[in-house]
Chain A
Amino acid sequence: MEFNGKLLKKLVDTYSPSGNEERIKDVITEEIKGLVDEIKVDALGNLIARKKGNGKKIMIAGHMDQIGLMITDIDDKGFLRFTNVGGISPHISLNQRVIFENGTVGIIHVEHIEDMSKMKLDKMFIDIGATNKDEAEKKVNIGDVCVYHTEYYENENRVMTKCLDDRVGCFIMIEALKKMQDTDNDVYMVFTVQEEVGLRGAKTSAYGINPDIGIAIDVTGTGDTPKARRMAVSLDKGTAIKVKDRSIMVHPKVKKLMADVAKENNIKHQFEVLEYGGTDSGAIHLTREGVPSGVISIPTRYIHSSSEVASKEDINNSIELLIKIIEKNIEL
């Protein structure tokens, strides 16, 4: 399978912090509009694309939003104070470049503190190169959100970029739509909002769809870097089939379904036990009377940093697994 780096780059370069997903929604809509039967946007901004069928109602969810920093104060000298939108680490943020929706670029720094382990976001600020408050206010308002600003990079094996979490999920869903055969299943590809702040888009969209089965596509951590926290997941060992995280105990039958499909089709895969975090399936499986749900995870290093790293082969394996699951006549 050819790796469509051009599309992934386009997705990660589109500004889309939680609560501000309009731009990425437009980009994705443009990519998929000929590939599905229906597209709608709900009250929270979820993009719901349906490929109709008479079989099982399957909801596939990948989130469009990314973590960011929201401006809470502008001081007389034009420095900006901020708070986190989603899981932002102060240590990772120090000295990062950030970019606002209107293209304004800034750099994050911190007040003088003796003990850097005590560095917290409320001691940090953003310098956008303004010389005073008035000048700053022409470019940025309180409530505006910025995101990490780094260049997309790929080599023969790896991609390295901001917000693979979860543009890679969106990417996999788009690629699957392009490549999949016709299926009896009633497929809802849902590009969700506000996952990073609490699986919110998945909750309302799943309620509306009321699916028979839910599958989230999202990144997961790895234990394959020097002296990492112990975890069996590694890059290049294939797409990861989730067993559990903080938000879900994957339904044993869904886990088995995924593993069986992977085996039948010789798709390289591994099992994932994540001791922290959660993803959209956590919300989907508790919808209404309950929805058996699972997760296809993409092993990713340095999640929630400005340069996340994943394996192209794992990503391709994930696309393939998703396609084969969608094409399958599912019985649970």
Chain B
Amino acid sequence: MLLKRLTETNGISGNEKAVRNLIIEEIKDYVDDIKVDKIGNVIAYKKGSIESPRVMVAAHMDEVGLIVSKIEKSGLIRFMPVGGLDKRVLVSKPVVIGEDKIPGVIGAKPIHLQKGPERSKALSYQQLYIDIGASSEEQAKSNVKIGDYIAFDSKYVEFGKDLVKAKALDDRVGCSMLIDLLKSETNISIYGVFTVMEEVGLVGAGPAAFEIDPDIGIVLEGTTCSDVPDVDNHLTATKLGAGPAVSLMDRTTIFNKKLRNTIVNLAEENDIPYQFRRTTFGGNDSGKIHLAKEGAITATLSVPCRYIHSPISVMNKNDYKNTGKLLKLLIAEIEKGGLM
């Protein structure tokens, strides 16, 4: 299954190579042109049969993770975060390091040896290290080098009623839907862009949008979902199983109203459940896309994901399917014209 393969491939921001290769392999027979641009974005072009505005559909390839910053004399490995990680999720997790996927575990001082006040604080990066089982600096260095990227070791698991647990659902769900779109029949031309380094500051999207100069940008995302116990309804942002999340506004974009209303109407007409992303927290590639050159109108469709940016993000398969459906309806609608 494509989403399983995508989430089990590692692509920490700045090191998207494995994901990029998988995506290119997957789409190459279905598009008219593929290029990897100068900073690593994959720009695929699928030529349509009819004239239309320039449409760019984007999903980011990268995921949050860690990077090796130092190898201690003991052979233990120090690291830094790459992207917005909650450091509380790190301790006691298995990880893999570098291209050779050297396995390791994140360790810390045992609870027995921690004093009262120490126990009540979250562990800092200074208190955490990765153990690959090396007994010396030399042995560690023969497997791992400074600057190697570190990913969570977490398998794709289906569980409960229609739920999926995996790492990097943000944004391999977007990559998967975009691949699916590029494989499908569309009448209009589409630029499918798989961006790099979204998680460290929307780095890839700006240059890609500058190159393409789109009229319409559609960003596919896995987005925050806080429908867990003890959270007030108005702070949940999205709900699992309630359908694709349509963005209103975030830190980087006020989404175009006309495009947003078009999406809502399509969902209603076709009996697809949908919800608004009821928070303005965070940002995504749209922030750069809608401001490239003379500007573009943009929308974001997201699959709600609980525990995002952790090794155990969770989504609902129906949300995923419905988001993909809504995306295709939107592309068909753009074909009819009248949005610009």
Report if A and B touch in the complex (beta carbons < 8 A).
Answer: yes
Do B295 and A72 touch across chains, with their CB atoms under 8 A apart?
no
Residues of B within 8 A of A20 (CB): 257
Bound complex: CA of A200 vs CA of B276, how far in Å? 23
Decide if A70 is an interface residue (CB 8 Å cutoff). yes
Q: How far is the CB of A52 from chain B (nearest CB, A)?
A: 20
Do A204 and B291 touch across chains, with their CB atoms under 8 A apart?
yes
Bound complex: CA of A44 vs CA of B234, how far in Å? 29
Do A208 and B294 touch across chains, with their CB atoms under 8 A apart?
yes
Residues of B within 8 A of A44 (CB): 290, 295, 297
Decide if A129 is an interface residue (CB 8 Å cutoff). no
Tally of chain B residues near chain A (CB < 8 A)? 22
Interface residues of A in 65-110 (CB under 8 A from B): 70, 72-73, 75, 81, 83-85
- A-side interface size class: 20 to 34
Decide if B69 is an interface residue (CB 8 Å cutoff). no
Bound complex: CA of A151 vs CA of B268, how far in Å? 40
Decide if A231 is an interface residue (CB 8 Å cutoff). no
Do B278 and A73 touch across chains, with their CB atoms under 8 A apart?
yes
Decide if B233 is an interface residue (CB 8 Å cutoff). yes
Shortest Cβ distance from A288 into B: residue? B293
Do A75 and B233 touch across chains, with their CB atoms under 8 A apart?
yes
Decide if A223 is an interface residue (CB 8 Å cutoff). no
Decide if A332 is an interface residue (CB 8 Å cutoff). no
Interface residues of B in 293-314 (CB under 8 A from A): 293-297
Residues of A within 8 A of B252 (CB): 198
Among B215, B233, B257, B278, which residue has the most Cβ atoms of chain A within 10 A? B278
Q: Return the contact of B248 from the options A142, A198, A200 (Cβ within 8 A).
A: A142
Bound complex: CA of A43 vs CA of B252, how far in Å? 17
Do B294 and A122 touch across chains, with their CB atoms under 8 A apart?
no
Do B254 and A83 touch across chains, with their CB atoms under 8 A apart?
no
Q: A194 with B279: in contact, given A72-B234, A85-B249 (CB under 8 Å)?
A: no
Do A73 and B233 touch across chains, with their CB atoms under 8 A apart?
yes
Decide if A7 is an interface residue (CB 8 Å cutoff). no
Q: A203 with B291: in contact, given A70-B280, A85-B254, A143-B248 (CB under 8 Å)?
A: yes
Q: A75 with B234: in contact, given A19-B249, A42-B294, A143-B248 (CB under 8 Å)?
A: yes
Q: Return the contact of B293 from the options A73, A81, A200, A204 (Cβ within 8 A).
A: A204
Q: How far is the CB of B237 from chain A (nearest CB, A)?
A: 9
Do A81 and B234 touch across chains, with their CB atoms under 8 A apart?
yes
Do B254 and A197 touch across chains, with their CB atoms under 8 A apart?
yes
Q: A43 with B295: in contact, given A72-B278, A73-B234, A83-B280 (CB under 8 Å)?
A: yes
Decide if B146 is an interface residue (CB 8 Å cutoff). no
Do B294 and A43 touch across chains, with their CB atoms under 8 A apart?
yes
Bound complex: CA of A84 vs CA of B276, how far in Å? 16
Bound complex: CA of A152 vs CA of B279, how far in Å? 32
Bound complex: CA of A250 vs CA of B76, how far in Å? 51
Q: A204 with B295: in contact, given A72-B279, A83-B280, A194-B254 (CB under 8 Å)?
A: yes
Shortest Cβ distance from B233 into A: residue? A73
Residues of B within 8 A of A143 (CB): 248-249, 260, 276
Residues of A within 8 A of B228 (CB): none
Do B235 and A122 touch across chains, with their CB atoms under 8 A apart?
yes
Shortest Cβ distance from B275 into A: residue? A142
Do A142 and B296 touch across chains, with their CB atoms under 8 A apart?
no
Decide if A3 is an interface residue (CB 8 Å cutoff). no
Q: How far is the CB of A123 from chain B (nearest CB, A)?
A: 9
Do B254 and A19 touch across chains, with their CB atoms under 8 A apart?
yes
Residues of B within 8 A of A197 (CB): 254
Bound complex: CA of A18 vs CA of B249, how far in Å? 11
Do B248 and A122 touch across chains, with their CB atoms under 8 A apart?
no
Q: A122-160 vs B: 1/0 string, CB under 8 Å? A: 100000000000000000001100000000000000000
Q: How far is the CB of B175 from chain A (nearest CB, A)?
A: 27
Among A73, A143, A197, which residue has the most Cβ atoms of chain B within 10 A? A143
Q: How far is the CB of A285 from chain B (nearest CB, A)?
A: 16
Residues of B within 8 A of A73 (CB): 233-234, 278
Interface residues of B in 259-301 (CB under 8 A from A): 260, 276, 278-280, 290-291, 293-297
Residues of A within 8 A of B296 (CB): 43
Residues of B within 8 A of A19 (CB): 249, 254, 257
Residues of A within 8 A of B290 (CB): 44, 200
Interface residues of A in 1-50 (CB under 8 A from B): 18-20, 42-44
Q: B230-258 vs A: 1/0 string, CB under 8 Å? A: 00011100000000000011001010010
Shortest Cβ distance from B294 into A: residue? A208
Q: A142 with B234: in contact, given A18-B254, A197-B254 (CB under 8 Å)?
A: no
Q: A289-315 vs B: 1/0 string, CB under 8 Å? A: 000000000000000000000000000
Bound complex: CA of A122 vs CA of B236, how far in Å? 12
Q: How far is the CB of B56 from chain A (nearest CB, A)?
A: 13
Do A43 and B297 touch across chains, with their CB atoms under 8 A apart?
yes
Bound complex: CA of A111 vs CA of B16, how far in Å? 46
Residues of A within 8 A of B234 (CB): 72-73, 75, 81, 122
Interface residues of B in 86-140 (CB under 8 A from A): none
Interface residues of A in 229-253 (CB under 8 A from B): none
Shortest Cβ distance from A111 into B: residue? B232
24 contacting pairs across A/B (C-beta < 8 A): A18-B254, A19-B249, A43-B215, A43-B295, A43-B340, A44-B290, A44-B295, A70-B248, A72-B280, A73-B234, A81-B234, A83-B249, A83-B279, A83-B280, A84-B280, A122-B235, A142-B276, A142-B278, A200-B290, A204-B291, A205-B294, A207-B294, A207-B295, A208-B293
Q: Which positions in B face A, CB cutoff 8 Å?
A: 215, 233-235, 248-249, 252, 254, 257, 260, 276, 278-280, 290-291, 293-297, 340
Give 9 new A-B contacts, CB below 8 A, not counting A42-B294, A143-B260, A203-B291: A19-B257, A43-B296, A72-B279, A75-B234, A83-B249, A85-B254, A143-B249, A194-B254, A207-B295
Ranked nearest first, the 5 interchain pairs of A and B with the lowest CB-CB distance are A19-B254, A204-B295, A73-B234, A81-B234, A43-B295
